[in-house]
A and B are shown apart, each in its own frame.
Chain A
Amino acid sequence: MTVTDPYAAAARETTEGRVYTVTGGDWDTIQPSDEEERLVINMGPQHPSTHGVLRLVLELEGETVTQARTVIGYLHTGIEKNLEYRNWTQGVTFVTRMDYLSNAFNETVYCLGVEKLLGVEVPERATVIRVLMMELQRVASHLVWLATGGMELGALTAMTNGFRERELILDVLETITGQRMNPAYVRPGGVAQDLPPGAVEKILDLLEVLRERLPTYDDLLTGNPIWQRRLQGVAHLDLQGCLALGVTGPILRSAGLAWDMRKTEPYCGYENYDFEVPTETTADAWGRYRVRMAEMWESLKIIDQALDKLEPGPVMVQDRKIGWPAQLALGPDGLGNSLDHVKKIMGTSMEALIHHFKLVTEGFRVPAGQVYVAIENPRGELGAHVVSDGGTRPYRVHVRDPGFVNLQSASAMCEGSLIADAIAAVASIDPVMGGVDR
């Protein structure tokens, strides 16, 4: 008696051996072709093309996206809640981890908020250093956008080149702050320490390299017909749509509105820098690419000017009740308090020691009230709503991350387009999930 397997594939004997013909599982057998074909698929959260742990729920008709929904929260880490259990200075180490590609912006916007509540004026040199850090970071962030966005569209050379140049910038940031990313370098009242010796020269060298290499991206991509056809006319969102959805940054500027808070509501002395706000009128992924490429050049101009503005001076407010008394120096175990300073406070001044201890463990107090400050980060308006109850810890800090808001436009950009263009749309939004989910 032979048992026949109903699921066995048909087989025939040939001179090469037995050959199986495997059939079945065709779409036609599952979905009769005369009915409407509608398929809901999940893309992400673990997907190389979704720009981080972003989940897209796409309703497809063939290759066409009829509905798109973004699902976020996979990288939610409760940073805002955690801030409420640390002192104001420690808060910097948390906010820097939000949008991890633009740390300097997160730190600066938080510190500007705290300083506004405190009512203190940051020393000129500290402000210039902040601008320097932010603009270096803007170039690095746009390079990562180019790298990841290029990779998602299949331009792998864009990825390797983008990450290569970005690493050069991170090297410089590491020289200045001690860390590639998340440095907690900007502190309420100024910055953690002055630029180390040789930093300016390193930045100048970097600028030279970048000025040489940025045009190669144009050579590689701008004239490339595949790149053009993947981006031009794709992910269209006009000015009205941008404003309704609260979209800011390069997406808004690609729709023709030159809204850049460095110009419209200058902070950190941006009114004293000479630079342009690049715009496009195509309102598509191509326009966003062009805007970001042009912005890198403007950032290089600002860095040049910031280096000229660097005058010797303090980098932290002179108010001893706010600025940490630390005198940092390179110790045998990395960075630490200078031995001379420790000797002085331990040996000669009991009060200085207590003061140091209390300022570090307990922190300074911030007058009660609430403020909202906003700056232009590589993705748009980065805002910080900072509330104090007069204590040494933030009462509530909310960061308005442009990635979070801009991501709402994904549905508007994707619906009606091909699924491949949905990838281009999300890439052109450039969300950083650390900032989106916080």
Chain B
Amino acid sequence: MSESTDLSTGGPTPEGRTPGAVDVGMGTDSRVTSDMFGATFGGDTSGFGGLVRQTPADVGTPRPYGGWFDEFADTLEAVYSGFADAVTKVVVYRDEITVHVKPAKVAEVAQVMRDDENLRFELLSNLSGVDYPSQAERLHVVYNLTSMTYRRRVRLETAVTVEDPHVASVCGPYPTADFHERECWDMFGVIFDGHPALTRILMPDDWPGHPQRKDYPLGGVPVEYKGAQIPPPDERRAYA
């Protein structure tokens, strides 16, 4: 509850303190933009809240991670010989652990995590992309692995540039990644090396561009409502 009280009473001061600045998982300060609107400070509703937007920074969470996270990290480190080379950082946030991995090593790490009897992440629950245009390696791919044996969930994350968007496919250890990786290629333009047939899945085959990238416009037309012209959603007045 500490975070919520923080939001309701603490929150950013007009100078722009980060909400919940202790532990935000995405890191801080890598890109800060502020905005006039948004009162989160006490009863002040005059505006000028000083919105701080954040994108991930290059800092991991220091040990100990707490809970079973340490045991998990130790096991992975012990059984995976390339750990130091492949893993760039480990972030723990909101009771979830994220292991950041180099794009070429994802399949290797996934294979170890699936096969080792102390890890046993049998199920790839989810694979999706996130685009952070302010970073050099802006296209992130996120894998949510589930261990049915130990009832644990771990997230793998990797990042690539738009110019060289190659990630090792995890279709080998997890055949279920087939559709997921096709969607990620379709929506973000990430190329999964080793995927059996990386084609578009949701958009038509001849579609130009990758719609979920942040620089891809939402599109839309203005609509008339009660005599007034309402602009399309991406051109409407945005407060944040």
> Taking beta carbons and an 8 Å cutoff, which residues of A are in contact with B?
72-73, 76, 78, 80-82, 84-86, 116-121, 243-248, 257, 259, 264-265, 317, 319-322, 351, 354-355, 358, 361-365, 367-372, 374, 381, 383, 385, 387, 389-393, 395-396, 398, 400, 404-405, 407-408, 437-438
Contacts and interface: CB of A to CB of B under 8 A. Distances in A.
A426 B142 CA distance: 29
A391 B51 contact: yes
A311 B140 CA distance: 44
A367 B53 contact: no
Interface in B189-223: 200-204, 211-212, 216, 218
B7 A319 contact: yes
Given A85-B233, A391-B51, A370 B240 contact: no
Contacts of A317: 4
Given A119-B3, A243-B123, A400-B125, 14 more contacts: A73-B203, A78-B211, A80-B212, A86-B233, A118-B3, A119-B2, A119-B7, A119-B20, A367-B20, A368-B25, A372-B125, A392-B51, A396-B130, A396-B212
Instruction: State which size class the interface on B falls in.
Output: 35 or more
B88 interface: no
Interface string B220-240: 000000000000011010111
B45 interface: yes
B128 A321 contact: no
Given A368-B54, A370-B25, A358 B37 contact: yes
Contacts of A389: 26, 53-55
B122 to A, nearest CB: 5
Given A244-B176, A355-B45, A389-B55, A73 B8 contact: no
B165 interface: no
A370 B93 contact: yes
Contacts, number: 186
A320 B125 contact: no
A365 B240 contact: yes
B118 interface: no
A2 to B, nearest CB: 51
Contacts of B47: 358
Interface string B139-164: 00010101010010101000000000
Contact of A408 (B179, B204, B233): B179
A402 to B, nearest CB: 10
B97 to A, nearest CB: 11
A152 to B, nearest CB: 23
B86 interface: no
B90 interface: no
Most buried by B among A257, A355, A387: A387
A215 to B, nearest CB: 34
A408 B7 contact: no
Nearest to A76: B202
In the complex, the 3 A-B pairs of residues with the closest C-beta atoms, listed nearest first: A246-B176, A119-B3, A398-B128
A362 B125 contact: no
Given A372-B153, A390-B18, A119 B94 contact: yes
Given A81-B218, A367-B19, A73 B125 contact: no
Contacts of A355: 39, 45
A313 B128 CA distance: 38
A365 B51 contact: yes
Interface in B91-146: 93-94, 96, 98, 122-126, 128-131, 142, 144, 146
Most buried by A among B45, B218, B233: B45
20 contacts: A73-B200, A76-B202, A81-B211, A81-B218, A120-B4, A246-B124, A246-B125, A264-B148, A265-B151, A363-B239, A368-B26, A372-B125, A372-B144, A389-B55, A390-B18, A390-B24, A390-B54, A396-B212, A400-B128, A408-B178
Contacts of A82: 218, 233
Interface string B1-41: 11110011001000000111000111000000000011110
A321 B40 CA distance: 7
A243 B123 CA distance: 6
A396 B19 contact: no
Contacts of B24: 367-369, 390
Given A72-B202, A390-B53, A393-B240, A351 B125 contact: no
Contact of A372 (B55, B155, B218): B155
B166 to A, nearest CB: 21
Contacts of A363: 239-240
Contacts of A374: 125, 146, 153
Contacts of A381: 125
B7 A367 contact: yes
Given A73-B204, A383-B125, A437-B202, A321 B7 contact: yes
B204 A405 contact: no
Contact of A392 (B2, B148, B236, B239): B239
Contacts of B129: 398
Contacts of B11: 321
A408 B176 CA distance: 7
A405 B239 contact: no
Given A400-B125, A408-B178, A85 B234 contact: yes
Contacts of A73: 200-204
A358 B233 contact: no
Contacts of A383: 125-126, 144
B43 interface: yes
